[in-house]
Structure 1
Amino acid sequence: MEKDFGYPAAHDTHVVAGSVSSLPKGGLWSRIKSHATLEVEESTYAPPGTSWSNKDLDPIPPELQTWRTYNFVTYWISDAFSISNWRIGASLIAIGLSWKLALLAVVIGNFVTALVVTYNGLIGARLHIPFTVQARSAFGFYFSYVMVVFRVVVSIFWYGIGTYTGAECIRSIIYAWAPNFRNIPNQLPESANIDTGFMICYFIYFILVLPFHWIPAHQLHWFFTFKAVVTPIAGFAILGWVIHSTGGGDQVFAYGNSYSGSQLGWAFMSGVNAMIGNFATLGVNMNDFARYSKKPNSPYVQLIVVPTVFIIMMLFGIIGANGSRILYGEVLWDPMLIIDNWTSPGGRAAAFFIALAFLIASIGINISANSISVAVDLTTLFPRYLNLRRAQYVCAVLGAWAMCPWEILASAESLLTFMDGYSIWLAPMSGILISDYWIVNKQRASIPDMYRPDGIYAYEKWGTNWRAVVAFVVAFAPLLPGFAKAVTPSVNVTEGSSHIYALGYFYAFLSSSALYIALSKIWPPKSEHSGRPIAEHLAEDRAQV
């Protein structure tokens, strides 16, 4: 069954338009294209002989719908218990919030996240299509590719951050096994924000993770289940050590806020925004996994499991950050930095196994949240040259090396700035996708038309739904000045711009949804080719869900 996912069997003979057999003979460029072009099965849904799609992007057939309700539970447990989420909770302490306000920001942010990923994931569980195909129904067949590009860039950045996180685990494993590794001379300048020893670990992790990209997406739920068992044990181990070493729980909850008045309020909202931004990517592309769901309502379990597991893990980060301040005189907002201080023989052994558990976590989250999503996007953009497996390797190279993630992770403030920033584009995408299916089209969609450039989702002109375009632009444009200020503090913007930016996800999601619904109500979308309202097409009894 692997060839359904773009992994062709030896006997496959179907090729997409413009494939090897149709290339001109001779010449270096022709030979390069000959080797680069994939020999894969054409899409069952796209028009024959076109290069708009391939088999990877088709709706998942029943025999490959392998995700059950408990797989969604283990998926989110495996994603929650990771270094990145510990680090996010700890970063709220690092920027000056008390544990109470930090925890409140975590609770609010993750409840909002649960709502978004659940109601978008339900669409994938019902239609069994990926985000890139789903986007065509809301944004139009051609303009959806613009949304795909936005999402590709963000997810590649996140892959780089995941690679950095995995390299930290490798470093902690080596520190525990060979303490002298700490003394490797640094040959890189301080301005590089990375030293020679860490660069070695970074390269080791990059090589280590590559074989995992070979695993077909529908088989990954077993790895997530294994990861969901291993990584919580490591998290609880560090937490228990911190509480024991500080003399009990009271000590780690003694610190207050570093701000007061309005400064405190906006710092808190920035924290909430960062919590939501943490999984804003999956708020858009949860369908890349939910499409493997066996039952259409399985994603509903996310309303419970997402807030629960993320609140627990980020509370670990909050306690760890305050505990490290007591023990070492500074906030260590990364759990690997904490265990790197365990230098006794017994402490090094514990550090080795904890780092190994978090290494497993980092591999899993980099695949589940990043590489698979990028692979689906790149396969949509270049179906003649990329499938899910090949595209993951492209993502690995770009994310790990082109994006320089060590610059983003130089401090807690820069991490929060990054998470606040990219969500200004992802929030309106989520708002439009959810409102299009649940409200505008009342849970109806034509799957075949999502694969045809001349179908109803070509809309009135240029394969673009102008209502979605307007809603998208109106949602993110007012946030750009605040984003510029966050990235470059020397930029002068109004106080109001900074404040609306602190509310970025809420503003972008709600404004895009409301405007898209209003525009669709006032000017009902029509099909370019039939001239009839799309609602009439969807009301007909033909291939509807």
Structure 2
Amino acid sequence: MTESKETYNLSTGAAVDYDVGSATAINTGSGGALHRINKFFLLDSASQERYSNEDLDPVPPEKRTWNARHSSVMAVGLSWRMALLCIALANIIQGVFIVINGVVGAKYHIPFSIQARASFGYYLAYVMIAMRMIVAIFWYGIQAYTGAECVQSMIFAIWPSFHNVKNHLPVSAHITTQFMTAYVIYFLFCLPLHYVGVHKVKWLFLLKSITTPIASLAIMGWIVHKAGLGQNSLFDQGNTKQGSALGWAFMASLYSNIGSGVTLMVNAPDYSRYSATKYSHFTTAVAVPFTATIITFIGVVAASGSKVLFGQILWDPLLIINHWTSPGGRAAAFFCAFSFFLSQLGLNIAANSLAAANDMNCLFPKYINIRRGQFIASFLGSWALTPWNILTSAPAFLNFMSGYSVWLGPLCGILVSDFYFVHKQKYHVYELYNFHGMYRYKYGFNWRAFLAFTIGWVPLLPGFIPTVSNIKSVSGMVHLYDLGFFYGFGAACLSYYAICYIFPAKETYVDAPVYMVEDNVSFDDLESSSANEKSST
């Protein structure tokens, strides 16, 4: 039995005369016919250019392979109990918002760069995409430096004489021959993972989720065995601040820990789009706070023992395992360093290289796909930015980039507000790929989103500027900055909804969601089908 033919005009509701056999034709009123084959929609390429490519298109079913299993605050005056509470709460918030914003990717199988068009408009979305791309490339370089530290510890475990490698680089280079060797090894190890594609490296995320807790427990067990948890440990340290000072120190630490995960909140659709079901990524809401809290507790135990054993607090577990010099200890040190290496590698791919690649893919779809984008991000972040110089001689720039949640918080708030409250989870995905579609807004610019975005970040500037300059701060503005994510996200989210309620963009509303990818149909198949239909007529 063949499918009955239906024809619509989305602009007027009138029927159109367009025969595509058993498929459905929809006239969008924008100069192009919309073909439906097995519920898969595509703009007719002959009548309207499509600014997209295979990696930017909604993920086809065969690539939806991700299932549920894949997915120092004490220094500011907090006790270990308050520090654990702060980190646990921060990661609960991160996990919840990653899931909330990831729903659009799991439902429509589109990345953040396409999602942003629905709320910001075609051209304003490019500004948000470029902003996040720069941040992702920067943090890729910083994470590469951390990854090189893991590699260096692995080499120490295999070849102890590596400690004595002579440095042939000048002091002005801010890096030694020894560390540069580890850095190059890390960089070369990353390249194949950027080549195979994100939907094929889910094993990395599963592996690191198993090995990292084991390695952390091993370090904690060694510390407890050697040092115990008696007097003079961090567990004897209480809060060194009291009253309102303690409260604001807690909020500043909470904001700092949430801020480190805002990139993952924003680019959650970049990996949730590969979900096999709409609910595969929901485990993030539990996995993120659980693992982060456990690892943090283990870190407190290890740091406490390091104070007893070495006379100083070592928050970096790599510095602890570098003291394991016996043959058996070196084997354990290698395993722990390798586990942390996998964990850091997974984070760098999920939060940075994939995010930057998707952004470049959207900005230059004709020339850059996700694979090329990841290579470009890798080279720019690892070498062009020279992270060893930033970490050793550019503290102001590092503070500036650490405060990026000033802008990404409001961005995330607008995305959530638009999807859930303004458009009520109803997007017309075809139109998101249509340069002249309903989500273009006037001149490609949605002033509602721009106004809400401005409301979300401008009041935080007086508290942010003193962190990167010598300008004196006003206590009230600093306290508002300490609430940065909550204010930025909340103000942008609520103001965007209010503005859209008063001045609705009714042309962007649809009665029911329209999906693009179903039943194993690819863009190439549809384009070929369209060409065959036209040639036959």
- TM-score over 0.5 for the alignment? yes
Given that 2:410 and 2:492 are in contact with CA atoms closer than 8 Å, whether structure 1 keeps it comes out as yes
1:302: how far off?
2.2
Query: What is the alpha-carbon distance in structure 2 between the residues aligned to residue 384 and residue 248 of structure 1?
Result: 59
2:358 corresponds to 1:376: yes
Matches within 5 A, 1:338-377: 338-377=320-359
Query: What is the alpha-carbon distance in structure 2 between the residues aligned to residue 104 and residue 416 of structure 1?
Result: 26
1:46: how far off?
8.3
1:159: how far off?
1.0
Query: What is the alpha-carbon distance in structure 2 between the residues aligned to residue 401 and residue 454 of structure 1?
Result: 39
1:266: how far off?
2.3
**Closer/same/farther in 2, CA of residues 195 and 51 from structure 1, 3 Å limit:** farther
Counterpart of 2:38 in structure 1 is none
Query: What is the alpha-carbon distance in structure 2 between the residues aligned to residue 543 and residue 180 of structure 1?
Result: 59
Given that 2:136 and 2:356 are in contact with CA atoms closer than 8 Å, whether structure 1 keeps it comes out as yes
Query: What is the alpha-carbon distance in structure 2 between the residues aligned to residue 293 and residue 463 of structure 1?
Result: 30
Give the one of 150, 155, 160 matched to 2:136: 155
Matches within 5 A, 1:509-524: 509-524=489-504
Query: What is the alpha-carbon distance in structure 2 between the residues aligned to residue 484 and residue 119 of structure 1?
Result: 31
Cα deviation per residue 1:85-133 (whole Å; 9 max; x = unaligned)? xxxxxx2133442211111111221111122101101111111100000
2:121 corresponds to 1:140: yes
- Letter paired with 2:473: V
Counterpart of 1:60 in structure 2 is 59
Counterpart of 2:505 in structure 1 is 525
Counterpart of 1:425 in structure 2 is 407
Query: What is the alpha-carbon distance in structure 2 between the residues aligned to residue 206 and residue 254 of structure 1?
Result: 41
1:337: how far off?
1.2
2:267 corresponds to 1:281: no
Matches within 5 A, 1:36-75: 45=43, 47=45, 50=49, 52-71=51-70, 75=71
Query: What is the alpha-carbon distance in structure 1 between the residues aligned to residue 139 and residue 513 of structure 2?
Result: 42
Give the one of 452, 476, 489 matched to 1:471: 452
1:189: how far off?
5.8
Matches within 5 A, 1:244-255: 244-248=225-229, 251-255=233-237
Given that 2:141 and 2:386 are in contact with CA atoms closer than 8 Å, whether structure 1 keeps it comes out as yes
Counterpart of 1:164 in structure 2 is 145
Given that 1:409 and 1:415 are in contact with CA atoms closer than 8 Å, whether structure 2 keeps it comes out as no
Given that 1:255 and 1:322 are in contact with CA atoms closer than 8 Å, whether structure 2 keeps it comes out as no
Given that 1:102 and 1:318 are in contact with CA atoms closer than 8 Å, whether structure 2 keeps it comes out as no
Counterpart of 2:186 in structure 1 is 205
- Letter paired with 2:481: Y
Given that 1:440 and 1:517 are in contact with CA atoms closer than 8 Å, whether structure 2 keeps it comes out as yes
Query: What is the alpha-carbon distance in structure 1 between the residues aligned to residue 62 and residue 326 of structure 2?
Result: 52
- Letter paired with 2:486: F
Matches within 5 A, 1:74-473: 75=71, 91-188=72-169, 193-248=174-229, 251-406=233-388, 409=391, 417=399, 420-459=402-441, 461-473=442-454
1:68: how far off?
2.1
1:372: how far off?
1.3
Query: What is the alpha-carbon distance in structure 1 between the residues aligned to residue 396 and residue 299 of structure 2?
Result: 17
2:511 corresponds to 1:539: yes
Cα deviation per residue 1:250-277 (whole Å; 9 max; x = unaligned)? 7441122343444333222111011111
Query: What is the alpha-carbon distance in structure 2 between the residues aligned to residue 417 and residue 258 of structure 1?
Result: 25
Given that 2:410 and 2:488 are in contact with CA atoms closer than 8 Å, whether structure 1 keeps it comes out as yes
Moved over 6 A (4+): 413-416
- Letter paired with 1:198: F
**Closer/same/farther in 2, CA of residues 167 and 420 from structure 1, 3 Å limit:** closer
**Closer/same/farther in 2, CA of residues 540 and 253 from structure 1, 3 Å limit:** closer
* Deviating more after overlay: 464-473 vs 188-197: 188-197
TM-score (norm 1): 0.81
What are structure 2's unaligned runs of at least 5 residues? 1-40, 518-537
Counterpart of 1:83 in structure 2 is none
**Closer/same/farther in 2, CA of residues 124 and 324 from structure 1, 3 Å limit:** same
**Closer/same/farther in 2, CA of residues 416 and 146 from structure 1, 3 Å limit:** closer
Given that 1:110 and 1:310 are in contact with CA atoms closer than 8 Å, whether structure 2 keeps it comes out as yes
Query: What is the alpha-carbon distance in structure 1 between the residues aligned to residue 297 and residue 203 of structure 2?
Result: 27
Query: What is the alpha-carbon distance in structure 2 between the residues aligned to residue 405 and residue 46 of structure 1?
Result: 46
**Closer/same/farther in 2, CA of residues 406 and 104 from structure 1, 3 Å limit:** farther
Cα deviation per residue 1:295-326 (whole Å; 9 max; x = unaligned)? 11233222222211121122222333333223
- Letter paired with 1:174: I
What are structure 1's unaligned runs of at least 5 residues? 1-42, 76-90, 528-533
1:446: how far off?
0.7
- Letter paired with 2:430: P
Cα deviation per residue 1:268-301 (whole Å; 9 max; x = unaligned)? 2111011111211110011111011121123322
**Closer/same/farther in 2, CA of residues 402 and 323 from structure 1, 3 Å limit:** farther
1:505: how far off?
0.7
- Letter paired with 2:409: A
1:153: how far off?
1.1
1:541: how far off?
7.7
Query: What is the alpha-carbon distance in structure 2 between the residues aligned to residue 471 and residue 356 of structure 1?
Result: 44
1:330: how far off?
2.0
Query: What is the alpha-carbon distance in structure 1 between the residues aligned to residue 457 and residue 434 of structure 2?
Result: 29
What is the aligned-residue identity percentage? 46
Cα deviation per residue 1:7-58 (whole Å; 9 max; x = unaligned)? xxxxxxxxxxxxxxxxxxxxxxxxxxxxxxxxxxxx9558557462111111
* Larger of the two Rg values belongs to structure: 2
